[in-house]
Chain A
Amino acid sequence: MLAILLMALATYATRAVGLWLASRLPMSGRVEAWLGYIPGAILISLVAPVVVSGGPAEALAALAVVAVALKTGNLLLSMLTGVGAVLILRSLIG
């Protein structure tokens, strides 16, 4: 119980402190540019290991997602394509 409460506190601290610190930074061009580069860099970091060290099924499904996303710009459709593709590809090629 204590462990859960302290976990909650620690997690909230990580969520609040970044926001708090950054909202106190002087918004120079350089700081703003840095903050603007964070989302892409974090998202790439989340997906790259899955795509690179996953199997061929994951890599091919990722290609399908990118193709659908670029073609349609539809997030939900891209996501469903990815899940469907990985489901089929895993059963075909493991």
Chain B
Amino acid sequence: MPAKPDHLENRPTDDTVTFTLDGALRGARSCAPIAASGFAIGLVFGVLARQAGLGAAEAAMMSALVFAGAAQFVVLGLWAAPAPVATVVLATLIVNLRHLLMGAALAPHFKGLSRLKAYGSAFFMADENWALAMGEFGKGHRDAAFLIGGGVVMCASWTTSTLIGGSLGNAVSDPARWGLDFAFTAMFLALLCGMWRGRRDILPWIVAAAVAVAAEMWLPGQWYILLGGLAGSLAGVARRAA
């Protein structure tokens, strides 16, 4: 393997943040299974986008540039012949507000990275590779390229499958029939088990779960993720201060 142009020392034990090809490849490998499940969802998105009046190429471009599954599905429900631009953009913004909190959580682990590396990585931040990266950082790994490595694999899978789904039309079956919709929940649950840091997590986790369940029942759309995350994390700090 050629020497990497990395000016930072690569010592996993200290706090120095690194950004190496190895880290990116680790991220890519870790995200491969979830990217495979995402492929099935992308096929469905392509089919539905076609039915909503988008061309296959347009849908694939949306997947590549927006790369945010939840927002894209929501927008399909709003799509019309001349696209209602303001409505679509507002919906996208609201569904993606949780990214604010996720990006904030990345900040300590991106400390010292160049702007290009940090904000280039941010483009590829999705729920799944972010969650895997936070698990990785929580175990003491300091290679920030993990996030973008996973993100590139997921984005490639998401875009390709959207294109295929959009071209195939209706010949795609529902991923729920194969249990694939549950792959995301299962991965998040398994990651949670590794994130448990002891009793101090009890209160914030209960608060987050309660707020998320209530918000999912009574509020439209995706507010529950942002509200649960905000309430839970603030509960953690409040408990600490009390």
A interface residues, Cβ below 8 angstroms from B: 1-8, 10-23, 25, 27, 30, 32-53, 58, 61-62, 65-66, 68-70, 73, 75-76, 78-87, 90
CA distance A70 to B192 in the complex (A): 10
Q: What is the chain A residue whose CB lies nearest that of B184?
A: A46
Residues of B within 8 A of A39 (CB): 105, 131, 134-135, 138, 195
B interface residues, Cβ below 8 angstroms from A: 30, 33-34, 37, 58, 61-62, 65-68, 71, 75, 83-85, 88-89, 92-93, 96-108, 110-111, 118-119, 122-123, 125, 127, 131-132, 134-135, 138, 178-180, 182-197, 201, 204-205, 207-209, 211-213, 216-217, 224-225, 227-237, 240-241
Q: Is the CB of B75 within 8 A of A43?
A: no
Residues of A within 8 A of B37 (CB): 83
Q: Is the CB of A10 within 8 A of B228?
A: no
Given contacts A22-B104, A53-B216, 13 further A-B contacts (CB under 8 A): A3-B89, A4-B62, A14-B97, A15-B99, A15-B103, A18-B99, A25-B107, A41-B228, A43-B192, A44-B208, A46-B127, A68-B190, A82-B186
Q: Is the interface of B mostly helix, strand, loop or mixed?
A: helix
Residues of A within 8 A of B179 (CB): 82-87, 90
Residues of A within 8 A of B189 (CB): 47, 51, 62, 65-66, 69, 78, 82
Q: Is the CB of A62 within 8 A of B138?
A: no
Question: Assuming the A-B contacts A7-B89, A38-B229, A84-B179, are A79 and B187 also in contact, with contact meaning beta carbons closer than 8 angstroms in the complex?
Answer: yes
A sample of 18 inter-chain contacts (CB < 8 A) reads A13-B93, A14-B100, A15-B125, A19-B104, A19-B107, A22-B105, A30-B240, A30-B241, A35-B233, A38-B102, A44-B192, A44-B228, A45-B228, A47-B192, A48-B208, A73-B194, A83-B182, A87-B179
